[in-house]
Amino acid sequence: MKTIFSKGLVSAGLALAIGAASMFASPANAVAADSYPDKPITIVVPFPPGGSTDLLARKIGEALSSSLGQPVVVENRGGAGGTVGANYVAKSDPDGYTLLMGVTGSNAISAALRDDLPYSPVTDFDPVSIVISSPLVLVVREDSDFKSVQDVIAYAKANPEYFTHGTPGVGTSMHMTGELFGLESGTKLLHVPYKGSAAALQDLLGGQINAMFGDILVTSEYVKSGDLRPLAVTGTKEHFLLKGVPTIAEAGIDGFAAFSWQGVFAPAGTPTAVLDKLYTAVSAALETDALKEVFAQRGFLVEGMNPADSKAFIASEVDKWTKVVEAAGLKK
Amino acid sequence: MSEFLANIQLGLSTALSAEALLFCFLGVTVGTVVGVLPGIGALAAISLALPLTYYLDPTTALIMLAGIFYGAQYGGSTASILLNLPGTATSAITCLDGYPLAQQGKAPLALFVTAINSFVGSSFAIVLVMGFAPLIAGFALKFSSTEYFSVMLLGLVAASTLSVGSPFKALAMVVFGIVLGQVGTDVNTGMFRFNFGILELADGFGLVAVAMGLFGVAEIMANVGQASGAPMGVKGMRFKDMIPSRSEWKEIWKPTLRGSVIGSFVGALPGTGPGIASLMAYAAEKRLSRDPSQFGKGSLAGLSAPEAANNASVQAAFIPTLSLGIPGDAVVAVLMGAMILHGITPGPNLINDQPAMFWGLIMSFWIGNLMLLFLNIPLIGLWVRLLSIPYRLLYPAIILFICIGVYSADNNVFDIYVVLAFGLIGYAMRKFSYPATPVLLGFILGPLLEEHFRRAMLLSHGDLTIFLQRPISLVFLLISLMFLGSVFMPGLRSKLVSRVRRNAPSDDAD
């Protein structure tokens, strides 16, 4: 409790300092920020209700509404892998009243993969905070001959395009992680896209495909039941839901790291003071028990990056996935 | 056996609690209402209700959400029968024979029969969920894209004969449906196809928008400008108008059972849904019927089979969901999301880890379906009275509901334009007597056929014989062949016969 309190104080102090600084820089913003928020805030979730992004947005929304003193409404605008909702927020007024719960696909990979997006994930948003990250896990069936990452690499080297991995679709973080795996191990896996991760999981359980770079929480249930075997996680360290499972880097591909992440975004041009006020509220929310429970249950790793770090992070992600897209020849 | 009884007892103790009963009733009532209202379907209603359940106990929340889901299947047929407007996208097929029945003044009978069909279909599938869920789910896992392709092919072949009128127009409309289904994202490459730069079309047209446009909005437009009266004169309805006669019972029970079997099978296969189930059941019934010419003119068999099938499919969708953690269709996927929100991750351990929830949910299905039966039969009188509402009040209200329904799926105004555009298309189709059902058929099955064909090719590295090598796939291909044979054989035979006859007189003349 004490740490929460002191951390909250520090970030509040920080926000005050930044707020004061921006007051000198731009008085108009300061006025807006002083009264902000004086009406309800909408967080757009670019997916249908019931997913992990929806859950996170609603929990953060609850915490924000009690700390900011205004209702926070979560609005689900699904479609096209999150890009419909992201586009909507990109075109909204940059006043801090319309925010996006953006993800790897909508706010980084799509920039690398598509020329026909009506928005730019880099220039059309001011990130408030990259809130969480979540590694994936390379899983095979329990009765599979693949016992390790090395087995997979050896097989895939000998049989290019015969090691099959299923994903929820082209341009998802599961797909990109598979491509990155191929590039960094010098192999070529066969990408088998599905409409959604459940269909891919169904074929993995049925033995129609070899592997999946799957969601930690969902696959850990099948690991517990003895249906699937985890070979490695894609993060930089052991994951608390899959104790004893090595990282891909430890298992033989040096420096390999791939995450999916989620964050709160505002349209580009949002006053800095508003962004900072939001960031302060978000980072305080991350310390609440309600959110900690979600993180533990859902297998999320807390990031809580500040706006500047988040902006730099997005740029680095777009850069990283653009290289993968180009090297793998996926550009559409 | 004693363990089974203990499980049932456990389930009942959960499902019979005051709170569970209340939310079950709430769920099935909301389900019936959204089912009856054209345009607002189970998916939209559950998506809207989901956030409200964040504060409920998980089992109670699921009981309520599931109640909306299967309750909507009961209500869905009401508007189809009375107004020729499908209440949900999946009950479009019920219009074919339900509306003619209503025109013959048999609306109370048709509504009563669908309530019974729905109950039988649901019960059949719930028995399967209770007794054989893991077994059936294990069988469903054997279905790879190869098998899915063959099943969908059978569906397309079987259903291609389901409309009345010109077979060429019907075929043209199937193709039109398939073309509409091409709009969207190419699964294998991720390319946007035929979306003309409109991001909202990147997922293709929504089934609800297409079905509600072609059937609902088009029906309303076709009636605009007609006499300002009410749809149908209703005189006092007597209880015995609802009850089928002995010969009518005879006509109903076999199609209902066959519909239940087909619906359960389709529902247990993940990635399908009640729409496909009812189309297939209707097609099978028409093929098996001694008098297919009655279909589309108010056949009780044509009403019963799809109604039993869509309910069975909805209940059977819980088989893969609860025993594998793989959602049977899009609506159950949202229900699974609800479980995760409540800290329960659906997976292969669910039945063992959460017996109270699993058995409580199953028992609530029984309770909910009984409630629906007793809710729906007295409501028949009320629904029939809807027919006495004048057009000028009824139709604007329905258009409004359709717009709300398609909008609420994704909170996107674009979908309203889509449904109105399909209304215009559907109106034009009616004027030139092109049937709408084949469009829906091509639209639902076409993209699935393509997706599974291409994935099968990807996994077999382009080997076409894969469809013959896999036994389940081979069986379905052979059945498809038999269907094709049975379609062409009578025609062929009659052609031969007529040729012989034509030759015969000419022989005489000689």
The SS3 call for residue B312 is helix
Phi and psi torsions of A34, nearest 5°: -60, -45
**Residue A21: its pLDDT value, please?**
45
Please check whether residue B50 touches A, CB under 8 A. yes
A127 and A14 inside one domain: yes
Picking from B50, B142, B187, the nearest residue to A195 by CB comes out as B187
Q: Is A83 touching B (CB cutoff 8 A)?
A: yes
Residue A239 lies in a domain: no
Contact across the interface for A48 and B47, Cβ inside 8 Å: yes
Domain annotation covers residue A248: no
Q: What pLDDT is attached to residue A9?
A: 43
Q: What is the pLDDT at residue A16?
A: 46
Classify residue A241: in a domain, yes or no. no
User: Which pLDDT belongs to residue B454?
Assistant: 95
Q: Which residue has the tokens 């509040």?
A: A12
Does residue A146 belong to any structural domain of this protein?
yes
Task: Look up the domain containing B154 and give its range.
Answer: 2-505
**CATH code for position A140:** 3.40.190.10
Between chain A and chain B, the number of residue pairs with CB atoms below 8 A apart is 144
Contacts of residue A219, defined as CB under 8 A and 6 or more positions apart, other chains included, come to A137, A139, A201, A212, A228, A230
Which residues touch B257 (CB under 8 Å, ≥6 apart)?
A: B120, B124, B308
What would the two tokens of residue B195 be?
A: 């979306």
Beta-strand runs (E) in A16-64:
41-45
B497: distance to nearest CA of chain A, Å? 49
B230 occurs within a structural domain: yes
Chain B residues lying within 8 Å of A117, measured CB to CB: 199
A163 shares a domain with A58: no
Domain count, chain B: 1
Per the domain annotation, does A246 fall within a domain? no
A144 Cβ neighbours under 8 A, 6+ residues apart: A210, A211, A229
DSSP tag of B54: G
Residue B346 falls in which region: left (phi positive, over 0), alpha (psi -120 to 50) or beta: beta
The backbone torsions φ and ψ at residue A266, rounded to the nearest 5 degrees and listed phi first, read: -115, 155
Over 60: is that where the pLDDT of A45 sits?
A: yes
What is the predicted pLDDT for the residue at A8?
42
Q: Is residue A278 part of a domain?
A: yes
User: Do A112 and A64 belong to one domain?
Assistant: yes
Handedness of CA B269, B271, B275, B276 (dihedral sign): negative
> From CA A184, how far away is CA A182, in angstroms rounded?
6
Containing structural domain, residue A183: 135-233
Per-residue pLDDT of chain B (510 residues; tens, 9 = 90+): 688 899 999 999 999 999 999 999 999 999 999 988 887 888 888 888 887 887 788 899 999 999 999 999 888 889 899 988 888 878 889 999 999 999 898 989 999 999 999 999 999 999 999 989 888 988 889 899 999 999 999 888 877 666 667 778 888 999 999 999 999 989 888 888 998 888 889 889 988 899 999 999 999 998 887 665 555 555 556 777 788 989 999 999 999 999 999 999 999 999 888 888 998 899 889 888 888 888 889 999 999 999 999 999 999 999 998 888 888 777 888 888 888 878 788 888 888 888 999 999 999 999 999 999 998 888 888 888 877 888 888 889 999 989 988 888 778 899 999 999 999 999 999 999 898 888 988 998 999 999 999 999 999 999 999 999 999 999 999 998 987 877 666 665 566 666 666 665 444 433
Query: CB neighbours of B441 closer than 8 A, spacing ≥ 6?
Result: B156, B159, B160, B162, B174, B177, B279
Instruction: Confirm whether A51 is domain-assigned.
Output: yes
In a domain, B184, yes or no: yes
What would the two tokens of residue B245 be? 């006669």
A101 bridge partner residues: A264
If contacts are CB pairs under 8 Å, which of residues 175-194 in chain A contact chain B? 190, 192-194
Cβ–Cβ gap A77/B197 under 8 Å: no
In a domain, B236, yes or no: yes
A15 lies in the same domain as A120 = yes
Out of A216, A233, A250, pick the residue that ends a domain.
Answer: A233
Determine whether the interchain pair B271/A199 forms a contact, defined as Cβ–Cβ distance below 8 Å: yes
Helix (H, G, I), strand (E, B) or coil at B122: helix
Please tell me the total count of domains within chain A: 2
- CB-CB neighbors (< 8 A) of B191 in chain A: 332
Residue B510 inside a domain? The answer is: no
Answer yes or no: is B143 within a domain.
yes
Q: How many helices (H) and strands (E) does chain A have?
A: 13, 10
**Chain B residues within 8 A of A159 when measuring between CB atoms:** none
- What is the band of A85 on the pLDDT scale with cuts at 50, 70, 90? very high
pLDDT band at A51 (very low <50, low <70, confident <90, very high): confident
Tokens representing A46? 């670019």
Q: Is B372 exposed, middle or buried (0-12, 13-18, 19+ CB in 10 A)?
A: buried
Distance CA(B183)–CA(A113), nearest Å, equals 20
Q: Does B337 touch chain A (CB under 8 A)?
A: yes
* Close Cβ partners of B134 (under 8 Å, ≥ 6 residues apart): B323, B351
Task: For residue A58, give the CATH number of its domain.
Answer: 3.40.190.150
Residue A239's beta-bridge partner residues? A242
Indicate the residue type of A33: A
In a domain, B74, yes or no: yes
Name the residue of chain A whose CA is nearest to B407's CA: A77
**Residue A301 is assigned to a structural domain of this protein:** yes
Is position B317 within any domain? yes
The string of DSSP letters for A267-302 reads: ETT--HHHHHHHHHHHHHHTTSHHHHHHHHHHTPEE
Q: Do A297 and B411 touch (CB under 8 A)?
A: no
Indicate the burial class of A8 (C-beta count within 10 angstroms; 0-12, 13-18, 19 or more).
middle
The verdict on a CB contact (< 8 Å) between A195 and B411 is no
Please count the residues of chain A: 332
A83 and A182 inside one domain: no
Q: Are residues A77 and A10 in the same domain?
A: yes
- Angle (nearest 5°) at CA A312 between A311 and A317: 100
Q: Residue B209: its chain A contacts at CB < 8 A?
A: none
B169 domain residue, yes or no: yes
B152/B158 Cα distance (integer angstroms): 10
User: Is A122 in the same domain as A143?
Assistant: no
The residue with greater pLDDT, A322 or B231, is A322
**For the segment A128-154, what is each residue's pLDDT rounded down to a tens digit?**
999 999 999 999 999 999 999 999 999
